[in-house]
Structure 1
């Protein structure tokens, strides 16, 4: 469907004051931050709109804007990227300033945000909503979604195009007919109390399922997706078994903005004609990639920083993991191998490697690479399956498949701080040592569990298969 994605909601100004803490003040036991950079960016509904625009979409943002310096600064950040349709507002622009060092927030300072009346939408708002291919309501509890005139326009839009409502505890309830509502776990818990669901339910998934069902009926929505942070999201249609979309594991130093990334991705996918289940799956992937790349703190108004590509594996995924780890001051570890039949020896090596740092990237031999190394009967599993098994391990943060005989080209791209290999290399020079040392890294050897190998497993399976009566040799072709 043609037409812009229209984002409606409360716009905030976020500012990160970034510096280094290397000493304590002489007159008080407090850290001293040497400020190196100030990074302003849109927040609230304005961040959701910017992220949607970064998807390459035409975006219109309808938001109350005050007559103050912070609003002027917000306009200058947004107008190069999207069309801004302001609503008159008698309040003051909320400004959230985070003081950060080494990838961590030290303190947040909130200014502005005074309440005030929101003006009725004019012809420009009416025309924007009438032309929308989809609508995203990003409510931040500042009063925009309580406007009766605006709610009437939103209800009309919901009857014509997909409308996604990202609610807020202090905001108004979604208008009836929303295609998808996206509360997080705590928002769903608070909202569902109104519809008779207790606030103190046990079990995150079971509680989300019950609350999602109640909110679909109570809000008159087609579906409700309760976002569960690192667990992913649960999609309820009000009855029947819910769909749970798990999130891939990502190192998360700062989840700020993940909800906006999720809602913007879901709205865009619905605008493209996706089913609610497809939109939620894509939104989980996009939010995970966003958080892995540093979240809102890595967003730049000049176009740098994380985009929305829902990458869950491969080189881009590894790059996101490494960037987030280094932004938090962590250590990047890499290891490699074929991992054809995962066994206890593999797991011991992987767990030992992960313990050396703050993320672990596995360099995995491709099928062609394994055949050249092991012979034409190997691998037993294609590299796509081997990668998926590795990515399911808690100790593995990302997997990169390489096609060469050695992982050196992959290592040159990744540049880990530590390259770890399991096996009988102690006291000898690893083949990759010189390369890894060239950027200041270290190559180390990890303990190896004797008697565990894929070759031994294959031999055992064949021997046992050969001992079975004719016709029952299920292992004969291993």
Structure 2
């Protein structure tokens, strides 16, 4: 699949996803502060509302439904009022409750959050934390074995509430023809023996798995994760590890391939809950549809970006995601660079510039762009206009016209500005922009990169980034022609 992130919204529709794990009721009590209590120095709220939302594995399922997939939730709940509230919340989110296993010996997990306007004051947790009973585990394993034959991807959501007992884990381990297997767990090392395809820890979970200190947001958390790539892959047993880092985006790690970085576009709201669930749902769907990891990570980051300013438990709004993936606000005319971008002394951020044709965006492009973004704060991408591509690549190129190429680039979370240029080299653009860093692939050398000396003369530096082996637009086009010839 190409890097058309908007196209992914159609590609993921109808995918059958099995979500197995800990379902939670997220209950919100909201009120208006009216003073301090006389009994203790605590605020008094005039209660104005209360409502329930899907939490935990149920929130992953709700996000899958919102994105157009067909989710099945397999979880254990109690025969209690909270269990009935979970059924109601799932119905409101369009998620079926046919495979909720009711255990009368358990209490449904509830997380009550008390908010004064949008400021959370208190969280109260209740519900069973012990391992599910043997009879319940056997029923869950039986249903799991049946549903594994019917889905395109399975997501294990482990929040530490006892779902993943021996029979359930054994069923996942011994399933013949198991589909794409994605794990989101508070203790991701617990699933190592199952050799999952994908594991998605957050930063704190990854640091704990490594036995490394957790850095605050001022530390180099991305560098720490990338440095320990091999250990994370080994300790999770996964083919791919995606570490979410809230305001720092996400890092995707694979053996033998460059790490990928996506960037958060907005800061998370104080009361946002479950943006990681949104990322997990969108990432799993994109991978299951056949998208490359780089495009899948960008798609998932964009989905998570639709929820981070919302109070309460996060569910992706597909209409907002479509607008975000369109990204047209990032596109600038080549002859109208704004003064805030060209005023080097006043722009107040490190600008990284790269350029190319980007005809049929692929994994290699996205990998390089995500790493280029990590070299500064603002990534500007120059794109060869159609006539320039024809001069450089031949009369049959570009395959994709300039406007479409720019819109696809603008949909990437790591890209901040897209600007076309009509010459064969972006020299004039570099002179006006005066970037702090000029990033290109290491298939170039400083000697055969004509812009290198100009960048250095203007006070910037040149960074040559490792390219992804075997990835090029020319090769993709050759493969398509070869396939077309075989069909004839």
- 3-state SS of paired residue (1:290): coil
Contact preservation (8 Å) 2:247, 2:264: yes
Report the Cα offset of residue 152 of structure 1.
Answer: 2.6
Over residues 264-283 of structure 1, what are the superposed CA-to-partner deviations in whole Å (9 max), with x where a residue is unaligned?
Answer: 11111122122222222211
Q: Within 2, Cα distance between the matches of 1:99 and 1:187?
A: 26
Contact preservation (8 Å) 1:248, 1:312: no
Residues 1:175 and 1:290: Cα distance change in structure 2 (over 3 Å) = farther
- 3-state SS of paired residue (1:48): helix
Q: Within 2, Cα distance between the matches of 1:158 and 1:24?
A: 61
1:17 paired residue number: 29
2:447 paired residue number: none
Contact preservation (8 Å) 2:37, 2:43: yes
Q: Within 1, Cα distance between the matches of 2:303 and 2:121?
A: 27
Report the Cα offset of residue 26 of structure 1.
Answer: 4.4
Picking from 155, 159, 178, the partner of 1:140 is: 159
Larger radius of gyration: 1
1:231 paired residue number: 248
Q: Any stretches of 5+ residues in structure 2 without a counterpart?
A: 1-11, 330-335, 350-402, 418-430, 433-453, 455-488
- 3-state SS of paired residue (1:6): strand
Alignment of 1:174-189 (within 5 A): 174-189=192-207
Residues 1:40 and 1:230: Cα distance change in structure 2 (over 3 Å) = same
Alignment of 1:112-261 (within 5 A): 112-118=127-133, 119=136, 120=138, 121=140, 123-145=142-164, 147-156=165-174, 159-169=177-187, 172-193=190-211, 198-199=212-213, 203-250=220-267, 252-261=269-278
C-alpha root-mean-square deviation of aligned residues, in Å? 3.9
Report the Cα offset of residue 92 of structure 1.
Answer: 1.7
1:340 paired residue number: 338
Q: Within 1, Cα distance between the matches of 2:122 and 2:179?
A: 41
Q: Does 1:262 align with 2:279?
A: yes
Residues 1:56 and 1:345: Cα distance change in structure 2 (over 3 Å) = same
Q: Within 1, Cα distance between the matches of 2:235 and 2:414?
A: 37
Q: Within 2, Cα distance between the matches of 1:171 and 1:64?
A: 23
Residues 1:296 and 1:24: Cα distance change in structure 2 (over 3 Å) = closer
Q: Does 1:65 align with 2:77?
A: yes
Alignment of 1:50-449 (within 5 A): 50-79=62-91, 81-84=94-97, 85-87=99-101, 89=103, 90-118=105-133, 119=136, 120=138, 121=140, 123-145=142-164, 147-156=165-174, 159-169=177-187, 172-193=190-211, 198-199=212-213, 203-250=220-267, 252-292=269-309, 294-297=310-313, 306-307=317-318, 309-310=320-321, 313=324, 340-342=338-340
Residues 1:131 and 1:295: Cα distance change in structure 2 (over 3 Å) = farther
2:363 paired residue number: none
Contact preservation (8 Å) 1:12, 1:93: yes
Contact preservation (8 Å) 1:167, 1:174: no
- 3-state SS of paired residue (2:321): coil
Q: Within 1, Cα distance between the matches of 2:257 and 2:36?
A: 58
- 3-state SS of paired residue (1:214): helix
Over residues 54-97 of structure 1, what are the superposed CA-to-partner deviations in whole Å (9 max), with x where a residue is unaligned?
Answer: 11211100111222221121122214522331245443212111
Residues 1:106 and 1:63: Cα distance change in structure 2 (over 3 Å) = same
TM-score, normalised via structure 1 length: 0.61
1:358 paired residue number: none
Number of residue pairs matched by the alignment: 337
Q: Within 2, Cα distance between the matches of 1:257 and 1:345?
A: 39
Q: Within 1, Cα distance between the matches of 2:325 and 2:68?
A: 23
Q: Any stretches of 5+ residues in structure 1 without a counterpart?
A: 300-304, 319-337, 352-381, 399-456, 459-473
Q: Within 2, Cα distance between the matches of 1:269 and 1:32?
A: 46
The worse-fitting range, judged by mean Cα deviation, of 272-281 and 219-228 is 272-281
Residues 1:192 and 1:32: Cα distance change in structure 2 (over 3 Å) = same
Contact preservation (8 Å) 2:189, 2:235: no
Contact preservation (8 Å) 1:24, 1:32: yes
Residues 1:170 and 1:12: Cα distance change in structure 2 (over 3 Å) = farther
Report the Cα offset of residue 51 of structure 1.
Answer: 1.1
Q: Within 1, Cα distance between the matches of 2:292 and 2:87?
A: 34
Over residues 185-243 of structure 1, what are the superposed CA-to-partner deviations in whole Å (9 max), with x where a residue is unaligned?
Answer: 110111224xxxx4478731222123442122233211111111111111111344311
Over residues 375-396 of structure 1, what are the superposed CA-to-partner deviations in whole Å (9 max), with x where a residue is unaligned?
Answer: xxxxxxx9x79x97xx999xx9
Q: Does 1:38 align with 2:56?
A: no
Report the Cα offset of residue 173 of structure 1.
Answer: 2.4
TM-score, normalised via structure 2 length: 0.60
Contact preservation (8 Å) 1:140, 1:170: no
Residues 1:251 and 1:149: Cα distance change in structure 2 (over 3 Å) = closer
Contact preservation (8 Å) 2:247, 2:268: no
Residues 1:155 and 1:214: Cα distance change in structure 2 (over 3 Å) = same
1:370 paired residue number: none
Contact preservation (8 Å) 1:290, 1:307: no
Report the Cα offset of residue 317 of structure 1.
Answer: 11
If asked which structure has higher relative contact order (CA below 8 Å, sep 6+), I would say 2
